[in-house]
Every structure is written in C-alpha cells, then in structure tokens.
Amino acid sequence: MPRPRALVCASLVLLLAGPAASEPRLVFGSGSGVAEIPFDLHNNHINVRGRLGDSDSLWIVIDSGASGASVSASRASALGLAVAHGGTARGAGGVVESGMVHGVTLRLPGLELTQLDMSSIPLDGVALQTGRPMDVILGHALLGRAVVEIDYAARVLRVFDPSRPAPDSASARVAPESATLPLAFRQNLPYVRASVELPGRSPIEGEFVLDTGAATAFSLADDFVQKHQALDAVPHTIRARMGGVGGMVENRVGRIDRLRLGPFALEKPVTVFRLPSPGRISAPGTAGNIGAEILRRFRVTFDYPRSRVTFAPNPALAEPFEADMSGLVTTVQPDSAHAMQVLWTQDDSPASEAGIVAGDVIEAVNGRAVADLGPSAFRDMLRRPDSVYVLTVRRGSERREVTIKTRRLI
C-alpha cells in the first residue's frame, strides 16, 4: 500500500489569490446523480483520469486542500489555453506567480464541471519529485458542489448530487464504527476540531485542515509549534525537506503520543513540526494539517453542502505509522537520468554510517535503476525496517556499491 514520503513529500495546499470570475456548474452524465470514478493512489495522492475540454487523457489530483482548481502552467501552454496573468498562489513551499484560465470544461468519468475558472501554476517540480505527471489539481471547485466519498480501500471516488437526498448509504455500510464530524470552512478549505497529545503534556485542541493533497500523516503549523514549545516535548526528531507548490522548505519530523479525531485515537503518528517559512499548510491561527496518510485509513465522505464529514475506518486503521529508515534525504535530478541526489544524511543513520554524503547520487538499488523504480517506490523501500539494500552510488565520476540495513530513526 502506498506510503507517504516522510522526508520529501508534496503537500498541495493552495490558497488562491482572487475570486473566480464565474460559477462552475456540475453536470452528471446519467440521471442517477451519482458518478463512480476509479482512482490510483500514488504518493498518497488521489489520481484520476480526465480531460480539459477535448484534450487527451490527463492526470487529475483530487485535493481537499485546494481552494479551487489549478492546471499545470506547462500543460496549459501545451494545450494552447489562453492564460490571463497577474495573480499569486500560496502552497506549502511558498508563494508562486499564477495566471487564470477562464471558462473551461473539465471532464471526469460520469460528470463534467463546466464554466470553470482555473489558476495556472508551475507544477512540474512537484511532479518530478513524486514521479507522476500532475496536470490538474481539483479541490473546492468539485467538493463544494457535491457530496464526495473517497473509498481509499476500494480505490473508488463516488460523487453525489447534493440536491438529492443525503447519500447516507456509504456510512451506513459501517455505521457502528463510523463518525460524522462538523466542518468549518476557511478560504474554501475544510477544518475539523481535533486534539493533540504531546509527550508528557495535557491534550491541546485545535482546528485542522483535512488535506487529501498532503502525502504526510500529520503536520503542526509553525505558530502552533512555537506557542506550545512542541519540539521541547518530543524526545527525538530528524531533519526533513518538504514542500509542494512554492518549492521546498526544511522542517523537523518526529512523533506525538496521539491525535484524537472524533472517537478515533491515532497512536504515535509521524508528525511534521513546521518551522517558520513563506509556505503555509493551514489558515492563520489554526493548528495544522491532517494529511492523506491518516485519511487513507478511512472511507471519507466530504459533505460540504451540509458542513460535515464522515469517517468510516477501513483495515488500514490498524497499520503503524512509519518514516524513512535509511537516513537519506534526496531529491530527483532534473535530467534524463532522474537518479536521486543526496541533499544530506541524518546523523547516526545507516546512510551516514555507510559513508554516503551530500552530493552523492544514488543510481540503483539492488541492481535496479532508480529511474525505473521511480522516486515514490524508491523512498517507500527505505521505510521498511531491517531491510538490506545494495545501493549504486556515484561520486563525481566514480561509482561504488554501498550496503545499508534500515532501522527506525524516530
């Protein structure tokens, strides 16, 4: 099952500047008012196939952390879309320039969004790090006009017409274990109340954005971290390089004792402790971000029209939370080889003990090229405890084979 990238991950929170010029219209392809859309979970991102107008099939990420809809700037150019310039967008990594594409039609299996205004933003860097094209990010433009059930276990997205009776059948299938919580909205993004239990501290309640576009499990906002001196309570953290829209930033990663979300207690979740940066993962004054590594453990039904969300646990709820166990912090080389360049290694880690240093390039694992594996699969391998890997490492013009054995670092 796909896992989050604990050391390099994409959090696709978009706080778009300026209102859309027109109101999108949601049109179902059948009289039932229901569309079932299969999805691929890649890097914990919900990827569906769709089209912009009459384009060829594109990859579309369904992102509850996006306040509208966006198209990759390079894809907009390739499709010949007319882009009006002059806006900005804020993501987890910082602020980027954006344009606006007006009045397009976005087609998904069984439904269409017409008269849709989309921001045009640079997404190629995020796509490079995740190893999957990211043509469109679709958030509130869809979620705000429908009831959307994300069935992570079945890999199916179910979209319901909100003008029809409430689709309670989804939660009814697991009614004894499901829980419905109220939603609040800030900048078109959905927030729930939850409580954080830091080691040795009393529970702290706060508002958290539900973000299907964040590959991570749980993140605490930088002002929350500072206000509650959260890092002082955590016995051990490691350096992390994270980002998404706007670029990459450095944070710390460790574990809290638990996150309580309604009746559910998430034990020892891997937690990102945000450091001050231009990026933002939630609205000012809120506590942080609940990402897809938590959400994928449920069937999640977003009902924006009724300001509620339903969580129905699936078998993944019992899985432990894990992070990188190699000590490698890497980035994808932006060339045709797409090998992994080492940014740094964690102290007292398998990678540092094996003599790997910043600037080294990982070209293969157990004889298989990293470019063939892809960055997500490469990082996923390194999250398995007590696994032995032979890495082909290039330093300058010299290559050597290095053996590491993974172990938990946090």
Cα distance between residue 143 and residue 120, in whole Å: 19
Beta-strand ranges (E) seen in 161-292 are 179-182, 184-186, 189-197, 204-210, 218-220, 238-244, 247-255, 258-261, 264-267, 270-273, 288-290
Length of the chain: 410
Question: Within 13 Å, how many C-alpha atoms sit on residue 214's CB side?
Answer: 30
Largest CA distance in the chain: 66
The answer to whether residue 5 scores a pLDDT higher than 50 is: no
- Given pLDDT bands bounded at 50, 70 and 90, which one contains residue 289? very high
| pLDDT tens per residue, range 316-368 | 999 999 999 999 999 888 876 779 999 999 999 999 999 999 999 999 999 99
- Given pLDDT bands bounded at 50, 70 and 90, which one contains residue 97? confident
| pLDDT tens per residue, range 223-266 | 999 999 999 999 999 988 765 554 567 889 999 999 999 999 99
In CATH terms, is domain 10-160 a member of 2.40.70.10? yes
Share above pLDDT 70 across residues of the chain, in percent, rounded to a whole number: 87
Q: Are 156 and 282 in contact (CB under 8 A)?
A: no
Q: Are 385 and 405 in contact (CB under 8 A)?
A: no
The answer to whether residue 91 scores a pLDDT higher than 80 is: no
Select from 104, 281, 301 the least CA-distant residue to 208. Answer: 281
Give the domain ranges of the chain. Answer: 10-160, 169-318, 328-405
- Given pLDDT bands bounded at 50, 70 and 90, which one contains residue 170? very low
Higher-confidence residue of 84 and 1: namely 84
The answer to whether residue 119 scores a pLDDT higher than 50 is: yes
Rounded mean pLDDT, 125-142: 90
Choices 3.40.50.300, 2.30.42.10, 3.55.40.20, 3.40.50.2300: CATH for 328-405: 2.30.42.10
Q: What is the CATH number of domain 169-318?
A: 2.40.70.10
